[in-house]
Amino acid sequence: MQPRILALFDLDHTLLPLDSDVMWAQHLVEVGAVEPTWHQRRNDHFFEQYKQGTLNIDEFLAFQLAPLAAHPRAQLEAWREAFFRSRIEPQITPEARALVDQHREAGHLTAIVTATNEFITAPIARAFGVEHLIATLVQEEDGAFTGRSYGVPSFREGKVTRVAQWLALMGHDLEGFEESHFYSDSLNDLPLLSRVSRPVAVNPDQTLKQHAQDQGWPVIHLFSEKSAT
């Protein structure tokens, strides 16, 4: 039997007051995993593209995933643990936890849907108590990362595709829910926001804020301001 209500959450600047992609790149610079000047410049370049809605996802993923292929898995996991404990966990607000818990405790089918790759975001989803994570998939061979993604990146229209694929694996479809919620901050998520029955703009960028007001969508704030880093 299909659940009655679906609740989907974007992650960066929606449940978190930061961009985990950007912060991870900065963390790699700080631990000496990458050449700092070039890496920081490219990181800033892609973040500006993302904010403008012009990000080339393939170019970005080639940049973001390359360090995963350059270091041993154990080292990467140690860096990720330090990253989560120092940069992510302290930024999870009670308001964000309460919003997720409200849906989980009501028995709604709940997932985080993010363009950020699964290696970075899996511990974050666990911290929110969310079982289902729809993130950009990272290719592995013999337990080591190749530096490439696979499947459809969970970005823009790709989020609609990935959600449909995930639901189909469980024998569900988006139209079968009595209510479907999606919470996001970004203009990049307009494709999925436009497909659910209850879109909610959370800490929205200016484009999404205007669109939400025009469409009569709810606008909420889980933290006072968005961090650019």
- What pTM value is reported for the model? 0.93
Here the contacts of 218-225 (C-beta below 8 Å, separation 24 or greater) are 220/183, 222/14, 222/15, 222/17, 222/93, 222/95, 222/96, 222/99, 223/17, 223/93, 223/95, 223/96, 225/17
CA 134, CA 164: separation in Å to the nearest integer? 11
Instruction: Catalogue the active-site residues.
Output: 10, 12
CA-CA-CA-CA dihedral for 187, 203, 151, 70, to nearest 10: 110
C-beta separation of 192 from 8 below 8 A: yes
* Cβ-proximal residues to 28 (8 Å cutoff; 6+ apart), any chain: 34, 39, 67, 79
CA dist., res. 124 & res. 181, Å (int): 20
Q: Nearest Cα to 183, choosing from 52, 5, 6, 9?
A: 9
- pLDDT value at residue 11: 98
The answer for residues whose C-beta is within 8 angstroms of residue 98's C-beta and 6 or more apart is none
| Tens of each residue's pLDDT in the chain, 229 residues | 778 999 999 999 999 999 999 999 999 999 999 999 998 899 899 989 988 889 898 999 999 999 999 999 999 999 999 999 999 999 999 999 999 999 999 999 999 999 999 999 999 999 999 999 999 999 999 989 999 999 999 999 999 999 999 999 999 999 999 999 999 999 999 999 999 999 999 999 999 999 999 999 999 999 975 443 3
Residue carrying the six token digits 């494709």: 191
∠ CA 129-86-28, rounded to 5°: 110
pLDDT for the residue numbered 225: 58
pLDDT value of residue 40 = 86
